Structure 1
Amino acid sequence: MATWITTPAELDTYRQQRPSRIGLDTEFIRERTFWPQLALVQMAVGDDILLIDPLIPGMPEALAPWLADESITKVMHSASEDLVAFKWTCGVLPRPLFDTQIGAALAGIGAGMGYQKLVQEITGVALAKGETRSDWMRRPLSDSQLQYAADDVEHLFALHDAIDGKLQALGRQQWLHDDGERLLASVANDEDRWPHLGMRSAQFLDAPAQHRLLRLLRWRDAQARSSDRPRSWILDNELAATLARTPPADAAALAKLFEQFPKAPRKLAGAVWQALSTPLDGEADAPLAMQASDSGKKTIKALQDAVAERSRELGLADGVLASRKHLESYLERRQWPAALAGWRQQELEARLQPLLPPR
């Protein structure tokens, strides 16, 4: 039976249990905003399940000490978006983190497994999926919403016990700790310095065009954050790529071009022109997205094969050790991507280094 928590004082009483771990999940809305709007926090504490209303004044502040207490392990599943919601609403990230999705991948149970599938795999319990697209901001929440929310944390401790036991047997607990810290760091420092590298179309642009694209995407990100609106509402990718590829001659030409795009930010035309036409500090040193040559494609294939072989030896699913994107970055820059630093580098470097062609 879950308990509906509507006052900070109620939440504080559960701190007296001095738990060594809590299970956490959230429900949030992010359809019309840049930042997630936290609508509900589910917390498992001992045998209790708390459904916490973060819309109550003072509740985010009451949650913060729970999240910040490093004597309490926070057990979560696929936590990345929940972490953003906590950072934005409570001003703190939950640490230390045990992400059961990451743990299942490192334990060889399966990569990218959803909560329901993992619960069934480990406990045999089949959970309903009926409220995934509910309106979690409405009050009161329905009985089916409350049950769904409670289910999302009820089995986290069972997952934690099973996965942690397997990781301990494999000597991989440090792997999970490192991956959790890397995830937390990525949320804490979430401004992408080179957002153009994440757009596939960038590889088809020459260097000046990629620099223009970088300017636009940096400006868009700043606008989205300050206005709390989705990036695509500020400037969509198609229009950004068009402006970067064939920049208008002046602000008037830009305004005319906007007439061809129904979603163009006409009211921001002046700011878009300023961003497009103003070079960034250090722009010339920005890494460029590159099309792979035939020889480069062969090298990537060789790197992938080496990663796949090591993955089989470790009993890991494809993509857990390294993605194609990470291998492309490694080939282009000859530096280990941050996502592969640590234990992944230790597992792969001796195998991948000899496969790199000379410069």
Structure 2
Amino acid sequence: MPVATDRPDTRRTREPGTPPRPLVVLASILLATGTGTAIWLLPPRAQGEWAAADRIEPRATPSGPASTTTAEPSPTPAVARPSGFVTFVDAVREPRFNLSREARRSQVRWFTLGHLTAGQKGCVPKWGGLQEQGGNPVANRLAPLRAAGGNAGLAFGGPTGRELASACSDLARLTAAYRRAIGAFDATYIDFEVHAPTGEATVLRRARAIAALQREAAREGRSLTVSFTLPVTRTGLSSGDQAMLRATRSAGAEIAAVNLLAPVDSVPGSGGRLRPIASAVRAAHPQIARSLGESAAWNRIALTPVLAGSGDLTRLEARRLAAFTSRNHLAWLSTRGAALSPGITRFLTGATR
């Protein structure tokens, strides 16, 4: 005989398709345990290794609508002027450097190839002053890079050898020499790296050649971006370099950017290795603005710290450098000297894009 009770019936029949309650509890425990393990296994950066107020993360590329079919990505058109992070390549000392492979590995889209200086004949630019233009294996690998959406410019001058404008005293021949180099590599960007003081005649000759080439490019519907790479100190640019920029602009040449070479101290001071670089850029800004006839010229300043060793730029310093570049809207960022680690290069590429 059934025993009467006033307890509610908690063992009613389950709805069809509902799992037993003990299984639900067990699944919840397993899910929580698995989630904790997965979080613990994440790499350090995902757990906030770089979590800071001035963090600059690589910018994600917006994705399009979902598609059920997978198509081969079409090549991205190469842009005409440098931006983001630019890798400098010494095309003479690194003949095996593969541009397209490095672009895939580090995501860098822009390279600068140097240096073209005067050969024995004076008015003929050669790689390092010795190697024929068409004989450099690095420069001859430009086609695959551009097919993948990257690009590279040419650097004239540099720390060694004779600058072309100094060695070639005839304006027409100098202009023709620059024109041949630009045409040989289909360059849309050229840089003039000036270290040694140059006379007024050399400055004017170079400026007139640049202005003529830019006018030719405009008539033909092409672009020709020109920059100057100059050393900078805590007081900014030298008076001679400021006068050179003014004279070049007065001759009708358009200077898109002034790339500042700033050495990184091997032994950091109380403010770290980057503070002197920031001070040098701030000191150079009004000088560059006046030289280019602008009230402000932050977006016409590029920055290139020169590293003595690969350890001269830590991840923390790379983050701060990228933040400084983005915050001040600099034209682009690059490095010289010792090679960066692949991880830091990829970070700078994404953070400054």
Q: TM-score, normalised by structure 2?
A: 0.20
Higher strand proportion, which one? 2
Higher helix proportion, which one? 1
Q: TM-score, normalised by structure 1?
A: 0.20
Select the structure of larger CA radius of gyration: 2
